[in-house]
Amino acid sequence: MTAYKTGITAILVLLSVTVFGIGLFLLQSPGTAAWTPQELRTIRSLSLTNLPPAEDKSNRYAHNEKAIALGTQLFFDKRLSRNGQVSCASCHQPDNYFSDGQTIAMGQDIGRRNTPSLHGIAYNDWFFWDGRKDSLWSQALAPLENPAEHDFSRTAVARLITGDPHYYQAYTEIFGSVEIPDQQTLAADAQPSGSIAQIQAWKALPEQQRKQVDRLFANTGKALAAYVTTLKPLQTRFDDYIEALNSEKSNNQSLLNEQELRGLRLFISDKAACINCHSGPLLTNQSFHNIGSGGKNDSGRAAAISRVKLDRFNCLGEYSDAPPNQCQELKFMQTERHQTWGSFKTPSLRNVSNTAPYFHDGRYKALSEVLDHYTNAKTEDTHLSVIKLNAQDKLDLIAFLTTLTANQ
């Protein structure tokens, strides 16, 4: 009988603990209603704490302190441009979340696409809006040779690095002094693509010198990438809210207001479906989607597939530090043009309210216009499903999106 009573008591204690736990959960629950366990899992999946250190197997110098120091200097050095007026920081401005606030990037000339922010960019699988580069170091090389950006050239980069005593010393300390092209015999303005004169000058170089220049060029990109890898995602009010949820503190309700919580609920709901693509700690699924923004003027990912496949600076190329089995994204990328036509990379939403304008071509100046795009978009020939939001829904979503912006 005593044992029976003990059993009943034990069950009652367990039930009490369970009820107390549920009560505590409800007390902690934010907003107008408690989060369901599924909603909580989804919200927690967006936490920065889920991010491992950024890794790039193709760049063994990504976390090298000396490479970071060299990359920092190169990033802000305007001598890496034809007119001496453009550095990486000209468009990736530190005071603007490493973006520029312009519709289209402007270097030596008007560019083609909007400048993305660089915070957390090292976590990307693909780079540029169309993913025509598969590593951060390889991406960093393209603007240097682009006539609309730095309009420098491959041999001009090599001449600057080898001709500047400080850069030369820093470079050789990191990458060694083997395979350094001879400064005296190096053509001033040569690269394998560009003007006819640049291409002819490149072809006139001895093969060994071309390889030396390519090696130095790739290493320059690896140093730049080492610096950009240090630009980590910034802690936001939304991250504070998730941490408060996780730490079981009861003061989390004050971190997001009622409207922001309604926006969060919409964000993760099937109704707004933002979470379908803006998922994970960086609020991007790292994938390419046709949301009706591309088309006749810009086929997006479809035009980038062969470029990244044939790129000598890709993950499988001779300047990559990755073994081939670490190049899964490149090896198994979707290569069907009709599937990728008009698709662009899902951008991160971190700092979104302070990094306007939006979309690959910077067509929208306000988040309200972006939301209007989704509710008005045609679903045929795109990856979108029907999204219906009323005016209040949109205001709530925008309120939530502002919580994803960090103080700089």
Residues that bind other proteins (CB under 8 A): 1, 3-4, 6-7, 10-11, 14, 17-18, 275-277, 279-280, 285-290, 328, 331-336, 339, 379-385
Neighbours of 276 (CB within 10 A): 15
Work out how close the CB of 6 gets to other proteins at its nearest, in angstroms, rounded to a whole number: 6
Residue among 127, 70, 116 nearest 315 (CA): 127
Residue 80 CB contacts under 8 Å (≥ 6 apart), including other chains? 74, 86, 87, 88, 144, 150, 152, 157, 160
Round to whole Å and give the CA distance between 41 and 39.
5
C-beta of 287: minimal distance to other proteins in Å?
Answer: 4
Q: Which residue has the tokens 């001009």?
A: 156
Q: At its nearest, how many Å lie between other proteins and the CB of residue 149? A: 29
Please check whether residue 139 is in contact with residue 26, taking contact to mean a CB–CB distance below 8 angstroms.
no
Between 173 and 381, CB nearer to other proteins: 381
Residue 346: CB minimum distance to other proteins, A: 9
C-alpha span between 92 and 80 (Å, rounded): 15
Q: Which is nearer to other proteins, 255 or 277 (CB)?
A: 277
Name the nearest CA neighbour of 108 among 146, 154, 63, 164.
146
Q: In the bound complex, what is the minimum distance in angstroms from residue 286's beta carbon to other proteins?
A: 8
| Shorter beta-carbon distance to other proteins: residue 14 or 27 | 14
- Nearest distance from C-beta of residue 264 to other proteins, angstroms: 17
User: With respect to other proteins, which residue has the nearer C-beta, 126 or 202?
Assistant: 126
Q: Indicate the residue among 289 and 373 with the shorter CB distance to other proteins.
A: 289
**Angle between helix 154-163 and 196-204 (nearest 10):** 60
Nearer to other proteins by C-beta: 169 or 335?
335
Alpha helices in 111-164 (DSSP H): 136-145, 154-163
Angle, alpha carbons 267-271-274 (nearest 5°) = 35
